[in-house]
């Protein structure tokens, strides 16, 4: 039987992912620190606006579109950073040089790098990494959706665990960035993050299943934004894992 909530949710999520993909492709780097902070603050402002105006059609869809565009604008430089880091490591690996996290290049290494390094040389390998992250994310989406819609298990019991785990994940990332700067901790945080956001997919699909029959725009917008953020964050965590472990 056709369900309006399911239709709206999946169309909105697809719509958001397409917009983010386009803006991420356009913006490869922040030109100034101000642009980065404005984009960051704007994303939170739009998220709050979506929460407030979730039931106001078509304003809700306009806000969702703007939010998706801003998130994509943030993701573009992040992907570019990971890509450049991956290609640089591949280059030095081919030269028999292994750099530790945070290690600075010597003047000789820097001069050699600037003269001979070609980003395009490792582009196909980096594109393969991105494809693997996209494929793994899509697989997680289909598997979690299948577990919810094809079984009678109620996964709402993981809500409390996920909230605490997410807070700990954020703290872990901040502490490592500010103090330890450890590649191992960064990789461990990415693995934990991938598990957490996969479980969030399970939880949000479960909420969608339980709210079947609800025809309000507010419910569709809320669940769509949650699923969208689950997918984006899972993709980024997987990208970190694939980049760091290659």
Q: What is the pLDDT of residues 53-97, one digit of tens each?
A: 999 999 999 999 999 999 999 999 999 989 888 887 777 777 777
The pLDDT score that the predictor gives to residue 50 is: 97
Q: What is the pLDDT of residues 105-147, one digit of tens each?
A: 677 766 766 666 666 667 888 899 999 999 999 999 999 999 9
Instruction: Give me the mean pLDDT over the 226-240 stretch.
Output: 96
Measured in whole angstroms, how far is the alpha carbon of residue 26 from the centre of its chain? 17
Instruction: Give me the mean pLDDT over the 196-223 stretch.
Output: 94
Q: Cβ(12)–Cβ(50) under 8 Å?
A: no
C-alpha distances out from residue 200 to 144, 155, 205, 233, Å: 9, 10, 8, 10
Q: What is the pLDDT of residues 13-39, one digit of tens each?
A: 999 999 999 999 999 899 889 999 999
Q: What is the pLDDT of residues 175-193, one digit of tens each?
A: 988 887 888 888 999 999 9
A 10 A CB-CB count for 221 gives: 24
The pLDDT score that the predictor gives to residue 105 is: 64
Share above pLDDT 70 across residues of the chain, in percent, rounded to a whole number: 90
> Residue 2 above 80 pLDDT?
no
The pLDDT score that the predictor gives to residue 92 is: 78
Half-sphere exposure of 203 (CA within 13 A, CB side): 18
Lowest mean pLDDT across 110-124, 141-155, 228-242: 110-124
Q: Cβ(97)–Cβ(109) under 8 Å?
A: yes
> Residue 100 above 70 pLDDT?
no
pTM of the shown model: 0.90
More confident residue, 102 or 120: 120
Rounded to the nearest 5°, which phi and psi values hold at 212? -55, 130
The pLDDT score that the predictor gives to residue 114 is: 63
């Amino acid at each position: 039987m056709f369900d309006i909530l399911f239709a709206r949710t999946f169309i909105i999520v697809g719509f958001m992912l397409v917009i983010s993909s386009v803006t991420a492709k356009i913006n490869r780097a922040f030109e100034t620190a101000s642009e980065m902070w404005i984009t960051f603050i704007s994303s939170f402002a739009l998220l709050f606006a979506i929460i407030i105006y979730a039931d106001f059609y078509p304003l809700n869809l306009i806000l969702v579109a703007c939010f998706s565009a801003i998130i994509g604008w943030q993701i573009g430089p992040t992907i570019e950073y990971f890509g450049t880091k991956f290609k640089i490591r591949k280059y030095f690996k081919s030269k028999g040089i292994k750099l530790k996290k945070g290690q600075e290049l010597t003047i000789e290494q820097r001069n050699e790098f600037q003269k001979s390094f070609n980003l395009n040389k490792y582009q196909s390998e980096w594109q393969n990494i991105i494809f693997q992250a996209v494929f793994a994310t899509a697989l997680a989406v289909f598997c979690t959706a299948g577990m919810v819609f094809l079984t009678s298990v109620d996964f709402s019991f993981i809500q409390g665990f996920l909230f605490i785990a997410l807070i700990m994940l954020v703290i872990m990332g901040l502490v490592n960035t500010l103090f330890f700067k450890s590649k191992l901790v960064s990789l461990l945080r990415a693995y934990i993050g991938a598990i957490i956001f996969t479980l969030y997919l399970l939880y949000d699909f479960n909420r969608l299943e339980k709210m079947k029959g609800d025809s309000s725009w507010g419910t569709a917008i809320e669940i769509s934004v949650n699923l969208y953020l689950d997918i984006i964050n899972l993709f980024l965590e997987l990208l970190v894992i694939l980049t760091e472990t290659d």
